[in-house]
Structure 1
Amino acid sequence: MDLDLRNELEELLDDIRKRQRHIEDQVFLISVLDRDGHNTLEQQAKLKHERKQLALQMEMQTKLLHKAKLQH
């Protein structure tokens, strides 16, 4: 696998892990706030956006992996 492609994949995987952790943290925060009776609409909207971004990153990862496979 090309070194640039490998580096790009590693960076993307790191970003995906960070975003997944952030999403997990936000889900927990929203559940606590919701349970305590707070309005969580803004947090839920941000969470929805983060999930969409995660899906896009995962799609990019799949494309890069496919590209790497074609190089072999």
Structure 2
Amino acid sequence: MDLDLRNELAELLDDIQKRQRHIEDQVFLINVLGRDGHNTLEQQAKLKHERKQLALQMEMQTKLLQTAKLPQ
């Protein structure tokens, strides 16, 4: 695996981990706000968007890993 691809994968993994943590934090916040009787529709919509972005990042990671495994 070349250095550029390795760096790109490392950066992507870091971004994925940050987004996963952000999603976990938002789920917790939405649950607390919901228990307290707050309207959480806006937060839920943002969470849905974040989850879609996470899925796209994971798809990109898979494609990069497949590229790295191709014989040269």
State how many pairs are aligned: 72
Would the alpha carbon gap of residues 71 and 10 (structure 1) be closer, same or farther in structure 2, given more than 3 Å must change?
Answer: farther
Separation in 1, partners of 2:68, 2:3: 10
Separation in 1, partners of 2:17, 2:55: 12
Aligned to 1:64: 64
Alignment TM-score, normalising by the size of structure 2: 0.98
Give the aligned CA root-mean-square deviation in angstroms.
Answer: 0.8
In structure 2, runs of 5+ residues without a counterpart are none
In structure 1, runs of 5+ residues without a counterpart are none
Runs of 4+ in 1 over 6 A off after TM superposition: none
Q: Percent identity?
A: 89
Alignment TM-score, normalising by the size of structure 1: 0.98
Aligned to 1:20: 20
